[in-house]
């Protein structure tokens, strides 16, 4: 399984990767989560902080079947390096184990869930006290929920 095309955004406008987390979505239309992780045709990867979200990268794969072929997972997981989570409509047990070992939280959502809504939900979770997996992702990059709270109090500009 090969990566066919990869587009990276060179410069972010509204946020810094020092305080943002990378979140990926399995999609074929760039608007909704509508793909199984193992056979996902496209990943859309966003940077997300308390107030902003920006598209960082899009990666396209060739046509992939849900065939139990584990070899295709390694390329996908490597591409997600640095992501805190991957949102998908389904994910197999082996993929879950491999993603978790790589520090990436698989998040299963209903087919057709709007990416913009999921980004907003994630930001709300950052603001109100993150789930354990989000807190771990923040800690891995040296950011804590308290840092966000202090940035809110101080008013932060880049």
Say if CB 61 and CB 3 are below 8 A apart. Answer: yes
Domain count, the chain: 1
When comparing pLDDT for 74 and 142, which is higher? Answer: 74
CA 86/CA 91 separation, integer angstroms = 10
Round the CA-based radius of gyration of the chain to a whole number and report it.
Answer: 15
pLDDT: which is higher, 58 or 75: 58
Q: What is the pLDDT of residue 150?
A: 55
Other Cβ atoms closer than 10 A to 155:
6
Residue 158 binned pLDDT confidence (cut-offs 50, 70, 90):
very low
pTM to 2 decimal places: 0.82
Cα(21)–Cα(48) distance, integer angstroms: 5
HSE value, Cβ hemisphere, 13 Å, CA-based, for 79: 29
Quote the pLDDT of residue 29: 95
Asked if residues 103 and 110 have their Cβ atoms less than 8 Å apart, the reply is no
| CATH number, residue 88 | 3.30.420.130
Distance CA 55, CA 53 (A): 7
pLDDT tens per residue, range 83-122? 999 999 999 999 999 999 999 999 999 999 999 999 999 9
Q: Which domain holds residue 140?
A: 3-154
On the question of pLDDT at 139 being above 50, the answer is yes
Dihedral of alpha carbons 18, 23, 69, 72, sign: negative
Name which of 68, 13, 59, 19 is nearest 39 in CA terms: 68
> How does pLDDT run across 5-31, given as a tens digit for each residue?
777 776 666 666 677 899 999 999 999
pLDDT in tens, 27-70: 999 999 999 998 898 999 999 988 889 999 999 987 655 555 55
């Amino acid at each position: 399984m090969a990566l066919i095309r990869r587009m990276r955004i060179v410069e972010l406008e509204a946020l810094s990767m020092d305080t943002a987390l990378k979140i990926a979505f399995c999609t074929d239309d760039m608007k909704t989560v509508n793909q199984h992780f193992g056979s996902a045709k496209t990943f859309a990867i966003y940077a997300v902080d308390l107030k902003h979200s920006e598209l960082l990268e899009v990666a396209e794969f060739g046509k992939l079947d849900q065939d139990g072929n584990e070899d295709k997972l390694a390329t996908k997981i490597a591409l997600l390096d640095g992501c805190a989570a991957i949102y998908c409509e389904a994910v197999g047990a082996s993929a879950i184990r491999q993603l978790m070992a790589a520090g990436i939280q698989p998040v299963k959502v209903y087919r057709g869930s709007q990416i913009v809504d999921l980004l907003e939900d994630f930001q709300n979770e950052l603001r109100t006290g993150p789930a354990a997996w989000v807190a771990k992702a923040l800690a891995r990059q040296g950011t804590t929920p308290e840092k966000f709270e202090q940035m809110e109090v101080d008013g932060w500009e880049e």
